[in-house]
Structure 1
């Protein structure tokens, strides 16, 4: 079988040679260190390669996952590029990858230099209580500001610093009464989490060191600084990051939580929700909420806010906007200079058009006797969705009198935004949706109106006959497949698909004829209406 393995490998190489070969990185920058070897994994694609270095004294190559093709030649798709120079001066070399089948080569320039600065890279500096920890990483630069391709082989010291006046490289006098940083934030290793990590990081953490990436978790409301330093007693002594200020607070959000578009005269009641581990709790009416949080309308162009009831009332005309802020009083007191409250924009727009959607499997294809949820949505002339406030006056009706005996329609909410529809007869029917206006002090403001109509189709459920079929074993082989038993289907649109779950037992034609039984067993034939998979039946 050795010849077969060579044949497969040879055919694979022929296939790969038809595409242009590529190197994953055209240039990499590796940090110099007299004792720690740093490496980076390169990948060359669309071939199998032999790797070499123009300066083996500076850069060593270690192929990854080598396999033999023929004549004792080895090749691989990956290689570790290892910087092992003993001189601290900036140096460079070239790594070549030669495809052993075509002879084509690709290259990667490798530069080795000293680390000049390091910085902390993050997604956010705001941590939330009882939430997943945030990932923080380090990035290093040389004297020219270029970014190193890998710094994961070095151990680092991560520090949590009390809230203080901090300059670029040192912490000055701590703030009076500042909370201990380790009681506000906790450092977690990646091995204590479900995060993916390299073997280098795993090895560093297993020996008690921290790597270039860590997790930070909020413990209690407050703020603190995080700083990292490269652990090295000679060459890189004193290279540390700037301190980054972090804040920890409860994750309290508006509802609605995004920018909203409202019609004139709308009244929007805000709610406050606290999020813990993906679960949200309404805290609007808790006595402590008003002590801890303030909802503030920054400007009243779009309307006014009752800050006690958290009720926003829109102005009577469009093309206005206001910003609403949710202020955490504790965080503002702790960090007034840099604290940024949560905010959203309210924009007043005119009605453009109405649209209705349904939860049916296929839009507006229904089955007799089933229940469906119909939702009315509003949009402005630019297609932006308008938020449905409680004082809307929407309605749905059955305009054709002859249709009313076949349709049951019930409103779920007073503003008329959702309905339960139950069709009782097959056929084609119509619904009409209308925005009558806005309820203002028990009156209907009719300056805001719109309407739309929606046709839909209703079909009887599918019924397959017979429900169960018992077929004799086929003992002879025939040139032509003759139907054993036709499946008769009632209901639906009349256009069906038939599928056997196990074609080794029985096959079925496109018209529902059971064709061949090839083994002794049982299976099921599924029938679906082409109009909607909700209309279905089966035969065993």
Structure 2
């Protein structure tokens, strides 16, 4: 008969092996898809953890890797991956993050391919009057794989009233990134936002676009790539602008049988409230 202590030790050994295998240096992405260099090179931030890394990569003609150092530390935990080659066909390369303390190495596969289509994303198709909404563009290749970054690509954005009548007014207005809370970057790694701000300062659009609801109704938002041989790639969505409302008292309300409750409707504009009794 096997002693109970031996059984317990036997069960713990596999658990210890699992814990050991999951420890050590990590990187946030093992596969990255980037477009080729167009007007500007596209860049992506590869984040590492639990290590102090040196970075190396294959195919220096396809990719440039720039280590990042957090503050005064000489330890790199992230790197900027920059696609530098024009498109010929689908390419594959790799980036290696080696932990200087343990010698452990983690590999990230990087694919370079052309953009087949784009899609405008927003967390909801309805926004409140006077509220800001952040729209961003996601791109796909021919196999519907999602590109990891579009930072640096040039876009044209257009706001079109849903009604085609001459007196139709806009329900949305564009708000420059530098005039939004997004413009106050405090993370220490603001390269993506810097590139997007520079594009807007030049009168161009980036993959990030902020709108504000200024009228109740519907508005079409259209985005189009402004890159050579990709001018046909575009997308559009329709957003609805409505007033934000709430009932007071808020639910749940606990009452006895026969109780009469008067509700008031509150309309919210920005930081102000207007009440209407029911």
What range describes the TM-score normalised by the shorter chain of this pair?
A: 0.7 to 0.9
Is 2:201 the counterpart of 1:186? no
3-state SS of 1:268 partner: coil
Is 2:220 the counterpart of 1:225? yes
State whether residues 94 and 110 of structure 1, in contact with CA within 8 Å, keep that contact through their aligned partners in structure 2.
yes
Structure 2 counterpart of 1:254: 247
Q: 1:239 to 1:134 in 2, by over 3 A?
A: same
State whether residues 51 and 97 of structure 1, in contact with CA within 8 Å, keep that contact through their aligned partners in structure 2.
yes
3-state SS of 2:197 partner: helix
Structure 2 counterpart of 1:216: 211
Q: Match for 1:273 among 233, 242, 266?
A: 266
State whether residues 87 and 114 of structure 2, in contact with CA within 8 Å, keep that contact through their aligned partners in structure 1.
no
Structure 1 counterpart of 2:182: 195
Q: 1:189 to 1:66 in 2, by over 3 A?
A: closer
3-state SS of 1:273 partner: strand
Q: 1:29 to 1:209 in 2, by over 3 A?
A: same
- Give per-residue Cα distances to partners, 1:324-382, cap 9 Å, x unaligned: xxxxxxxxxxxxxxxxxxxxxxxxxxxxxxxxxxxxxxxxxxxxxxxxxxxxxxxxxxx
Q: Match for 1:207 among 189, 199, 202?
A: 202
Q: 1:178 to 1:258 in 2, by over 3 A?
A: farther
Long gaps (5+) in structure 2: 1-22, 186-192
Q: 1:43 to 1:220 in 2, by over 3 A?
A: closer
**Distance of 1:101 and 1:94 partners within structure 2:** 22
**Distance of 2:162 and 2:252 partners within structure 1:** 33
Range with bigger deviation, 141-150 or 37-46: 37-46
Is 2:63 the counterpart of 1:55? no
Structure 2 counterpart of 1:239: 233
Structure 1 counterpart of 2:102: 102
State whether residues 43 and 151 of structure 2, in contact with CA within 8 Å, keep that contact through their aligned partners in structure 1.
no
**Distance of 1:68 and 1:118 partners within structure 2:** 39
CA RMSD in angstroms comes to: 2.6
Q: Compute the displacement of 1:46 (Å).
A: 2.2
Matches within 5 A, 1:92-131: 92-129=92-129, 131=130
Q: Compute the displacement of 1:153 (Å).
A: 0.8
Q: 1:200 to 1:34 in 2, by over 3 A?
A: closer
TM-score (ref. length: structure 1): 0.43
Structure 1 counterpart of 2:190: none
State whether residues 67 and 75 of structure 1, in contact with CA within 8 Å, keep that contact through their aligned partners in structure 2.
no
3-state SS of 2:106 partner: strand
Is 2:30 the counterpart of 1:26? yes
Q: 1:143 to 1:258 in 2, by over 3 A?
A: farther
**Distance of 1:137 and 1:66 partners within structure 2:** 27
Q: Compute the displacement of 1:279 (Å).
A: 2.6
Matches within 5 A, 1:43-442: 43-65=47-69, 76-129=76-129, 131-164=130-163, 174=164, 176=165, 179-181=168-170, 184-196=171-183, 198-232=193-227, 234-241=228-235, 243-258=236-251, 264-284=257-277, 310=278
Structure of higher RCO (CA pairs closer than 8 Å, 6+ residues apart): 2
Q: 1:47 to 1:250 in 2, by over 3 A?
A: closer
Q: Compute the displacement of 1:178 (Å).
A: 6.2
State whether residues 137 and 212 of structure 1, in contact with CA within 8 Å, keep that contact through their aligned partners in structure 2.
yes
Q: 1:178 to 1:117 in 2, by over 3 A?
A: farther
Number of equivalenced pairs: 248
**Distance of 1:252 and 1:103 partners within structure 2:** 58
State whether residues 30 and 111 of structure 1, in contact with CA within 8 Å, keep that contact through their aligned partners in structure 2.
yes
- Give per-residue Cα distances to partners, 1:313-334, cap 9 Å, x unaligned: xxxxxxxxxxxxxxxxxxxxxx
Structure 2 counterpart of 1:428: none
- Give per-residue Cα distances to partners, 1:70-89, cap 9 Å, x unaligned: xxxx8622211111122331
3-state SS of 1:191 partner: helix
State whether residues 39 and 153 of structure 2, in contact with CA within 8 Å, keep that contact through their aligned partners in structure 1.
no
- Give per-residue Cα distances to partners, 1:414-449, cap 9 Å, x unaligned: xxxxxxxxxxxxxxxxxxxxxxxxxxxxxxxxxxxx
Larger radius of gyration: 1
